[in-house]
Each structure stands twice: as structure tokens, then as C-alpha cells.
Amino acid sequence: MVDPETHAIAVIGGATAGAEAARIFSEHGILTVVFEQNNRPYGKIEDGLPKWHVDLRKKEYRTIDQNLMGPHVHFVPGTKVGRDLELRELADKWGFHAVVLANGAWRDRPLPVEGADAYVGRGFVYQNPFIYWFNHYHEGTYTGPQFEVLDGTIVVGGGLASIDVVKVVQLELTLRALRERGIEQDMVELETKGIPKALASHRLTWEDLGLEGCTLFYRRRAEKMPLVSMPEGADEAQQAKVEKSRARILAKAVAKYLFNVKMLSAPVGLLVEEDRLVGLKFARTKLEGGRVHITDETVDVRAPMIISSIGSIPEPLPGIALRSELYDFQDWDLGRLADFPTLFSAGNVVTGKGNIVESRKHARHVAGYMTEHYLKLADAVQALKPLPPDVRNTLLARVRDHQQRAGYDGNYKAWIEAFTPS
Ligand SMILES: Cc1cc2nc3c(=O)[nH]c(=O)nc-3n(C[C@H](O)[C@H](O)[C@H](O)COP(=O)(O)OP(=O)(O)OC[C@H]3O[C@@H](n4cnc5c(N)ncnc54)[C@H](O)[C@@H]3O)c2cc1C
């Protein structure tokens, strides 16, 4: 424990990981400033986790709210680091003893087929904007991207998020087909019951709807889908158990949401007509020693809409060196970068795991290290001495400037209420 507000830390991103780190710093009396690019701080809980997780979302919102309302925590909404202020400036000039990057993974991993990105919006869609649309389109104030879900859509993926994408397509198709028959079906109930049961309650079957449905393409087999994580050093029996539960999860999802699955298929080419993506060329793959090999056997698959859901990666931030698509961390445990000696990273941006519990656990680990080791060490380092009052006052004045620019008066509760969509 250090004396209250003798140390200051900036946190970039106010969602699960950022808010959890802020809670720990707050408990140690550290002046904590959380910069969040959006007006609301809920990150992937609001814009990723599909909206049918009603109770989970509410619970996670409450946790984030509590953490951001803690003592010594200053929330700065609507402020994007890299656009509204520079990371270098925050790290070196404001007087912060450390900066924590908790900015998640908001960029879709590009589909590895040359030229595909040219067709975004013309037959080709990435997962993140698609789920964002699904989670928000019902709101009166929604002005984001618009999508029309089409029968016969194909999804390239394999992870849990891609199953959610396929589910969104199937649920939307079913709801529309029911609406055309004059039946209003609740989406959350449809997701909970599953399509066959919900249709049966209207004396209908999937065949009655006359839909082809959505197809998920995956380059490996069901048991290799990362639907359950494989423990490190798992022996053969454990591996077999995990693989079995992966296959079971997929089979259950197929039975409940009636989508099609094509395994051992990797996209290798584009089918383009009149400047629009109308399908993909898939190659059959072979698995050899756990590796995927592309064979010469190909098939053209036409589709009215193609969604790529092959993972999310961090958005580039000016000043941060990249290694291939990821930040070039020197230390992957604490998310440290060679060019920023006072910087740490927490949550999805460094774990790469799209999982709430993992983000929170990792944030706890990083913030714990910082309070137990780094700040104590920092006391001994001349440049990181306790915050002098004049530096603290200037820092807080800068925080207030940014809050005012965003229109935020420091009342977190009132702010969240004002930005809660109807
Ligand atoms: C389709 C889908 C389904 C999912 N389903 C589940 C599930 O069932 N169970 C589960 O546990 N997890 C699920 N997840 C994953 C889970 O939601 C995330 O892994 C987790 O919420 C990530 O938390 P985080 O704090 O690390 O990152 P994020 O929630 O991404 O938070 C990052 C925050 O940083 C902000 N930010 C980004 N850049 C900047 C910047 N430059 N300046 C300021 N602020 C910035 C963002 O606005 C955001 O608020 C799902 C994700 C998706 C996409």
C-alpha cells in the first residue's frame, strides 16, 4: 500500500480488463485515469457478446460500473488514445507512473485470400461490425452499419464467436420467416428454446420455412475447433476428452440452430461478378501431424453474403511496433513493450483469448504485479518518485480538459443513464 494519490496510472480502455485493473489501483489509493474511446465503457460485453446473453451482460455492466465509480478513479469517456491524445504523451509527459493498455482486440483478422478486403460491403462482411449491428440495430438512436441477413449466407470460422455469428444468421432468418407468416417470436426465447422447439410451438418445422440456412466452413475437423481450450501439457486421455466435448458442443449447436457445417475446407479464391463478391473457392484440406495442408481439390461455393469470423486482433496504435498482426510485446505475461518502459497490458489485447473470465483474471495478475512489485520498485527510481503536488494538479487539470471536451461532468451514474439506449 502506498500513500493515497502519490502514484498515478493511466488505463486505456474501460471494459472488463481496464475496469478490473482500475479497481485494484483504486484499492491501493492510486490516482487512476481511465480513457475510454466510447461514451459507454462496456467494450465487447456490449458490442461483442451477443445480446441474447441478457443476464450476463447486466451482471458485467454492473461490475464495470462499480469498478469505475471507485475512489481515486477518474473516467474520461469519448477519448480515443491515438486519435484524441498520443500514447507517447500519456506515457512520458503527463506524470503517470505507468500506463495500462486494456484496449482489447477490435480489428478482424484479415481473411487470408488476396483481394478479399476490396469487397467489404459488397457481399463480404467481417464479424465485428456484423455482431455490433446485431447487438444495436433495435435501438432508436442506432446509426451504425446496416446488414440484411440473407438465406444461404456462409461463414468462414471455427471458434466460439463464429458459432455465434452462424446463430445470429439462423435466428434472424427464422424470425423473418415467422414474421412473414404473421407470427411475432421473441428472439431471446428463440435462442433459449432452439429453432426446432420454437417452431414446433407454432406448429411449424424448419422444412416448412423453405430455408437453405447458413453454412459454417472450417479448415479442420470438429474435434479441433477451439470451442473448449486444451489444457497445457494435456496427456492423450485428456486430449481425447477435450476433443470429444468440442465435437459434442458443435453437434448440440447444430441440433438447436439447424445450420450446416463443412469441415476440412479452406478459402483459397474469390468468386466475383459485377464488382461484387458472390462466393468463395474452397480447397479441401488434409490434417497431417496437427497441421493443415491445402490439396488441389477445390470447389466453388456461391453465397449471397460471406462473413469472415476468423478471430480479432488489436487495432494498430500509433507508436506501438507490430510483429505480423500483433503488438510486438517483449514480455507476453505482463504485456510489456520495449519502447515504453512504463507500459503494461491487460486482457484480450495480450491474452488473445475472447473470454470475459480470462480478461479479468489477466487484469488482476498484471495490476497485482504492478502494485506489489513495480510501484515499490518505482519508489526507488528517481524518475518515478511519488507524484509532486504541482504535477498532480496539472495532471488532473488535463483530465478535466478531456472530460469537458467529451461533455462529461464527472457524474458517472448520470452519464451512463444519459447514454443508455432505449
Ligand atoms: C461474438 C462474441 C461472443 C463472445 N462470447 C463470449 C462468451 O460467451 N463468454 C465469454 O466469456 N466471452 C465471450 N466473448 C469475449 C468477451 O466478450 C471478451 O473477450 C472480453 O469482454 C474482452 O474484455 P477486454 O476488457 O479484454 O476487452 P474489450 O471488451 O475489447 O475492452 C477494450 C476497451 O478498450 C476500448 N478501447 C479500444 N481502443 C481504445 C483506444 N485507442 N483508446 C481508448 N479506449 C479504447 C474499447 O472501446 C473497449 O471498451 C465473446 C466475444 C465475441 C466477439
Torsion sign over Cα 240, 246, 248, 254 = negative
Residue with cell 453454412: 215
Give residue 415's pLDDT: 98
pLDDT over 50 (residue 382): no
Ligand 1 center to residue 104 CA distance, Å? 5
Relative to the CA of 35, which ligand 1 atom is closest? 43
For 1-26, what is the mean pLDDT?
A: 92
The secondary structure of the chain in percent helix, strand, coil, rounded to multiples of 5, reads: 40, 20, 40
Give residue 289's pLDDT: 82
* pLDDT > 70 in the chain, percent: 97
For 90-112, what is the mean pLDDT?
A: 97
What is the rounded distance in angstroms from the CA atom of residue 313 to the CA atom of residue 323? 12
pLDDT over 60 (residue 298): yes
Determine which of 54-68, 370-384, 388-402 has the lowest per-residue pLDDT on average: 370-384
Give residue 3's pLDDT: 66
Nearest to residue 12, comparing CAs of 349, 379, 376, 239?
349
Q: At 204, list the grid cell.
A: 411449424
pLDDT over 60 (residue 177): yes
Residue with cell 494519490: 5
Ligand 1 center to residue 106 CA distance, Å? 8
Nearest to residue 197, comparing CAs of 258, 282, 115, 278?
258
Q: Give the pLDDT confidence of 220-250 residue by residue, as tens digits.
A: 999 999 898 888 899 999 999 999 999 999 9
Q: Is-contact 188 336, C-beta < 8 A?
A: no
Produce one character per residue of 69-98: b if its CB has 16 or more CB atoms within 10 Å, e if not.
beebbbbbbbbebbeebebeebbeebbbbb
Other Cβ atoms closer than 10 A to 232: 5
Residues lining ligand 1, CB < 6 A? 12-18, 35-38, 41, 43-45, 48-50, 80-82, 102-104, 106, 131, 161, 164, 317, 347-348, 354-357, 359
Ligand 1 center to residue 48 CA distance, Å? 7
Give residue 155's pLDDT: 98
pLDDT over 70 (residue 379): no
Ligand 1 center to residue 276 CA distance, Å? 31
Top mutation candidate among 11, 34, 46, 49 for ligand 1, by most atoms within 8 Å of CB: 49
Ligand 1 center to residue 359 CA distance, Å? 8
Phi, psi of 270 (to 5 degrees): -110, 145
**What are the sequence ranges of the domains in the chain?**
8-106+314-418, 107-311
Q: Give the pLDDT confidence of 238-289 residue by residue, as tens digits.
A: 999 999 999 999 999 999 999 999 999 999 999 999 999 999 999 999 998 8
Relative to the CA of 349, which ligand 1 atom is closest? 26
pLDDT over 90 (residue 94): yes
Arch. (CATH architecture) of 107-311: 3-Layer(bba) Sandwich (3.50)
Q: Is-contact 90 96, C-beta < 8 A?
A: yes
Q: At 138, list the grid cell.
A: 433495435
What is the reported pTM? Answer: 0.95
pLDDT over 80 (residue 422): no
pLDDT over 80 (residue 378): no
Nearest to residue 123, comparing CAs of 310, 308, 306, 309?
306
Residue whose Cα lies nearest atom 10 of ligand 1: it is 355
What are the DSSP calls for 226-275, one per residue? TTSPPPTT--HHHHHHHHHHHHHHHHHHHHHH--EEE-SEEEEEEEEETT
8-106+314-418 CATH, one of 3.40.50.1370, 3.30.420.40, 1.10.150.300, 3.40.50.720: 3.40.50.720
Other Cβ atoms closer than 10 A to 118: 13
Residue whose Cα lies nearest atom 20 of ligand 1: it is 356
Ligand 1 center to residue 21 CA distance, Å? 15
Ligand 1 center to residue 54 CA distance, Å? 16
For 65-93, what is the mean pLDDT?
A: 97
